[in-house]
Amino acid sequence: MWAANRAYDSFQSRVRGVSGSTFNNSRNTMATMGDIKDVLLTPPVVFCAALTVLLLALLIVFRKFFYIVLVTTPRDIKGAVRYGRVIIWLWLEKLRNRNVGQVFDSIVAKYPNKVCFYFEDQQWTFRQVDDLTNRVANYFLKQGFRKGDSVALFMENRPEYVCMWLGLSKIGCIPALINYNLRLKPLQHSFEVADCKALIYGYELQEAVSEVNKEGGFTGILLYCSGHRGNPLLEFSIDLDKGIKDVVGTPPLVKEPVGFDDKLYYIYTSGTTGLPKAAIIKHSRFFMAVYGGHYMHGISHNDIQYTALPLYHTVGGVLGVGQALFFGTSSVIRKKFSASCFWKDCIKYEVTVAQYIGEICRYLICQPPTEFDRMHKVRLMYGNGLRAEIWQKFVDRFGISRIGELYGSTEGNTNLVNIDGKVGSVGFLPVWALSILPMALVKVDETGEILRDEKTGLCIRTKANEVGELLGKIVSRNPLRDFQGYADESAKQKKILRNVFRKGDKYFRSGDVLRMDDYGYFYFKDRTGDTFRWKGENVSTAEVESVISSMCGLKDAVVYGVEIPGSEGRAGMAAIADPEGNIDLRTYKLRKLDLQKEGFDVHHITDNVYYYTGSKYIPLDSTLYQMIMSGQMRLALTRFIKVFRALRYVQKGNVTVGQLFDENANKEPHKIILYFEDERWTNEQVQKLTNKVANYFQQQGFKKGDSVALFMENRPEYLCIWLGLSKIGVVPALTNYNLRLQPLRHCFEAVNCKAIIYNDELSPALKEVMEIGGLVGTPLYSLCSLDETPSIAPAIHLGKALEKALDTQPVIPSKIEFQDKLFYIYTSGTTGLPKAAVIKHSRYMMASVGNMYMHGLRKDDIIYTALPLYHGAGNMLGGGVALCFGVGMVIRKKFSASNFWKDCIRFDVTAAQYIGEICRYLISQPPSPYDKGHKVRIMFGNGLRKEIWPDFVKRFNIPQINELYGATEGNCNMVNIDNKVGAVGFLPWYLSWLIPYQLIKVDEVTGEPIRGKNGKVVICAPDEPGELIGRIQKNHPIRDYLGYADKNSSKGKVLENAFKKGDAYFRSGDILVRDIYGYFYFKDRKGDTFRWKGENVSTAEVESVISSVYGLKDVVVFGVEVPGTEGRAGMGVIADPDGSVNLDVLAQGISKALPSYARPLFLRILQRIEKTGTYKLQKLEYQKTGFDITKIQDKVYLLKGSSYVLLTQSMYEEILDGRMKF
């Protein structure tokens, strides 16, 4: 109880205490709040609170800006660090007052024996480069040149180029680096504008120098020639190579020192006055560019850099070469860019850094994929112009770790670089420092004029994502900010903009319109004003306008650049006022903007628009417009350039087919290149058999120039035997295995064959020749199974003989050359018997190289051919890419329509050859699952009729059909690469100078060329049929006409004095039509041959056979068109006045003497054959009526099986309806 009371009292006291405390605390709290209020209202606290609120408000309002700053800070820091290193080094060099030569000397001392330049098979060490530069310096010092003298340098890319300008710079001379593409007035102007005292030129440019010299352009000027290699020089030219050898290679003793701010050289840029401007490049600017490139891109002295850019340009000549001169980075110099060699070079030289311009990237990515695409070690590529559309594709395909896109101009101070791989961007500036940085984008109007604020008169900065012209603030003697201008001071002033953001300031006008996004990345949009960029070069619109005006009598003309899909930069376009026309004028200037917007889109332009073909302007219509937009014309040119370069390579190297095959075989010995039935032949197997053939026949006494007939059906040994014979200079005669009796005997004798190689299945044909007195004493070599015996007793068993032969390379006493005979191919002869056409190594190379590149074939392709290997199509086009490029080839013994697609699936075929009959037989087959189960992406050949072309493509799902035209012995070859239905080829106008084909008018009756009053042949107008002729140029791999073994036959195919006295053209004998777009269409064969079943047939040969069977009766044979078939079937007209013709006997005689394709399908028997005024049998009228029994009173017979039957009305209708198959 007591305890309970104590607890209660205690509780009460606590309650009372708390109540009292609460009351007291309330009063104290009121006092404290007053104190706090006094504190909070003091100025410092109020300021801090207001500042906090303000910052929060700013953060909310400008949250996007702060976010951008946050995410771009790592980029900006990285850029600032790299840029800082550039600034430090530049100011150190400025303080030292060093020149380029002195820096290079320090690198030579550091790396004397390291490779400085790789060039082709040459390696130049730093010591060698230094020696030559010193010799150049001492030589010109000795010649009296001194500091300030200008010397023009006009040379193609090579190490000596760098040595020349570097040596001259050591003594203070100012080299003028002239574009080696310039000619005549622009070349002379470039020389004169820099006040050059002398010209150093490469021997390869001697013709260009001579042209200017003839006009008096180099009068009184010293001309020095380099690289002549003993060839004769121009009159008054000095042998610079000899002069340099005679001086010492020690450092020159210079009286007038050369410093950091002295002129180094001139580089030429496009000029608004119409001619190139000489931009001044001081030593300081060279330092800025090289240090900037080195540190901003992170290049190391251990790198190996590759440049295929001209050394007269800043990118190649400063950024590229500079890395070697300043940092000891080895540099690979390429004479000219080659898309096919780019990655091969990078692998060869172990390149780690490569330079580019946009065109290089586009050409590379247009190349078919190869094994070289990712075998290189390139980690960085830098340059300008890589389009955003292909950027990622380029990086992914070629495995490039970093792309360093940059922006700059030769003479300007507006330089940017993209260091973090932002797709499409040319560089960046930190967004937080835009207002204080010395570069800015300002608004321009549509004409490219700078816009100014109406009140202040100052320029207006662009906002994010607005386009504007890029300006750079000029700070004199600052290596980063100075604008050094041009040799012509007036040209310099045009590039300076004053009173930009404040009165008295000066900025450099880049002339380029860019856009900057929210994150500070810049994107190139266009060029303003009087220049545009095309093919990697800046073009002056004023220069082009001046030329047009001078040629058109000072008419109004404006020139501007227009965009072409798939191309970098802009192509030139001109608008010219005709005498009655008017061009919109504003302030007396011809207005370009509206015209430029319209471009060349013929769907929106009502005026006449013309396209330059390379030699003339033709109307631009919707079809031609579509060709340009689709890029087919560019593709044709690109592919032809590859062909031409490849041919130049083998021609210069004097390479033979055997050598090229061995080169490929040694690289990939185990690659399968021939497929035949169940056989697989590797490069090594083919090589060994060819060597066995070569060694065996050499041992048998055969030598260079001997002919050996090859009479075999399709099989791999066919290719091996002729290739083996060619290795020792023996000339195989590829004989048609369908021939019999006299035509076959003639083929053996026409080229004086020393032996016959045949497969044993064809023994009966040889026995028939023996029975008529042929092959007397001629050695026979039979190819049959090892366990078989040749059917002809005297024949040698070739298989057993070759087993014992050596498979090593033959040792040949007489060298085999590029222009030597390779083999003979037989064509139909106007005399009645086949003619042996000469095929040289050069022609075989032309066919195989053309086939490879024009069709866009790849090394991993597998080609299918069922065409005879005694023909050019099967052997040269099919076999050529196998032997010369290592492309897999499936050989079919004979064509089979039912097995064609099955074979394509079985062998993984990707490309197939055809003739028109093959396509017709295939489409006549019943549909099957095999029709689209294959991987064939391209088919090429000749004779696909336009009537079935679209159906063929659709049914069998063939993406690409490349119809072609050519003759075994001729020089008129074309290919249709863009699926133009019915066309046999396309000859761009801009290639007419390189491929001089013409269609000329011929007399319908005689077939002879029609000549005008001046004695020249008459060229056909567009869409007018004419005979195709090609200009003959001896020893040219494309234009040469090699003729036949029989010289008289060769002369019959040559047309002389066609367009001028002394010229010579090959007559194709074919009638074609060319439309206004350059597409050719085959119309007919003229004269004494026709084509049937894929073979050319001589009418004279058939006439001879028929006449011999029937005692020299009058006979004419010609080809007639049969509905639903390719070519023309043979038809004979026989005079039989006494009714003595026995058709059964005739059929037997024809069957025995002629192959199936040469036998006349129709016969017309009449009383007599009409003759011409010169007593020649009349063919033309009979050919016009053909086998039309509704117009013919005479009897007409049709070959059915092995006999001739009367052609009835019902049979005639079946033929017309296509129900009767042939």
Radius of gyration of the chain (CA): 40
Contact 154, 185 (CB under 8 A): no
Give burial (CB, 10 Å; 0-12/13-18/19+) of 162: buried
Taking the C-alpha atoms of residue 871 and residue 718, their distance in angstroms, rounded to an integer, is 12
Contact 911, 857 (CB under 8 A): yes
Cα-based distances in Å from 499 to 493, 507, 634: 14, 8, 46
Cα-based distances in Å from 989 to 611, 612, 962, 1026, 1075: 10, 8, 20, 18, 12
What lies within 8 Å, CB to CB, of 365 at 6+ separation is: 390, 393, 394, 397
- Please state which CATH class domain 987-1085 belongs to: mainly beta
Taking the C-alpha atoms of residue 144 and residue 260, their distance in angstroms, rounded to an integer, is 24
pLDDT along the chain (1222 residues), means of 10: 41 44 45 56 72 74 79 93 94 95 97 97 97 97 96 97 98 97 91 95 94 86 91 89 95 94 93 75 96 96 96 93 97 94 96 94 87 95 92 95 94 94 95 86 85 94 94 91 89 91 94 93 82 63 60 58 67 66 37 58 69 62 62 69 84 94 96 97 98 97 97 98 98 96 94 97 96 95 92 94 96 92 84 85 94 94 97 95 97 96 98 93 93 96 91 95 90 90 81 77 87 94 92 84 82 91 92 88 82 85 83 81 91 89 90 91 90 59 91 93 93 92 87
**pLDDT score at 590:** 42
Q: What is the CATH number of domain 641-675+685-834?
A: 3.40.50.12780
Taking the C-alpha atoms of residue 829 and residue 743, their distance in angstroms, rounded to an integer, is 10
- Length in residues, the chain: 1222
Contact 770, 778 (CB under 8 A): no
Taking the C-alpha atoms of residue 288 and residue 83, their distance in angstroms, rounded to an integer, is 11
Torsion angle, CA of 680/682/688/693, rounded to 10 degrees? 50
Q: How far apart are the first and last CA of the chain?
A: 137
**pLDDT score at 372:** 92
Sorted by where each begins, the domain ranges of the chain are 2-61, 97-104+120-294, 416-529, 641-675+685-834, 987-1085, 1089-1217
**pLDDT score at 370:** 87
Tell which CATH architecture fits domain 97-104+120-294: 3-Layer(aba) Sandwich (3.40)
Task: Let me know if domain 1089-1217 sits in CATH 3.40.190.10.
Answer: no
Reduce the secondary structure of 708-756 to three states and give it as a string.
Answer: EEEECCCCHHHHHHHHHHHHCCCEEEECCCCCCHHHHHHHHHHCCEEEE
Task: Let me know if domain 416-529 sits in CATH 2.30.38.10.
Answer: yes
CA atoms within 13 A on the CB side of 452: 13
Q: Would the CATH topology of 416-529 be identical to that of 987-1085?
A: yes
Q: Which two tokens stand for residue 44?
A: 């410092």
Torsion angle, CA of 711/712/714/717, rounded to 10 degrees? -110
**pLDDT score at 582:** 41
